[in-house]
């Protein structure tokens, strides 16, 4: 029997191949969407601070939670909402670094052995 006489298994039907391809594409799209959503939520972690407005003027908002805890927030044209002095507010904010200045760590002095 020669190699040319061997029968190959029948190819998958066209309909089955299309269904399988559609499922693979669907699974890949769902995986990409979940990965994107997880990345966005990690990058945009937000916090909140609630208190009474002590001052609100051009670009800053000062909110006092207690006599010992007062925070000042920067605002810009994209900040949603406004507040007046005396209003009780909840400020939602993100902590995002805008610049990092690094300096080389200084080597610690070697400890002298005890006598």
> How does pLDDT run across 28-75, given as a tens digit for each residue?
888 888 877 766 655 567 889 999 999 998 889 999 999 899 999 999
- State the burial class of residue 89 (Cβ atoms within 10 Å of its Cβ: 0-12, 13-18, 19+): middle
pTM: 0.50
Q: For the chain, how long is the longest CA-to-CA vector?
A: 96
pLDDT band of residue 24 (cuts 50, 70, 90) is confident
Degrees (nearest 5) of the Cα angle 5, 17, 20?
A: 135
């Amino acid at each position: 029997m020669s190699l040319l006489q061997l029968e190959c298994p029948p190819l998958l039907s066209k309909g089955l191949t299309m269904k399988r391809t559609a499922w693979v594409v669907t699974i890949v799209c769902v995986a990409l969407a979940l990965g994107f959503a997880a990345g966005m939520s990690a990058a945009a972690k937000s916090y909140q601070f609630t208190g009474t407005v002590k001052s609100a003027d051009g670009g800053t908002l000062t909110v006092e939670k207690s006599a010992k805890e007062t925070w000042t927030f920067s605002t810009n044209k994209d900040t949603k909402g406004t507040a007046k002095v005396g209003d009780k507010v909840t400020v939602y904010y993100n902590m995002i670094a805008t610049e990092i200045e690094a300096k080389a760590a200084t080597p610690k002095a070697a400890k002298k052995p005890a006598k």
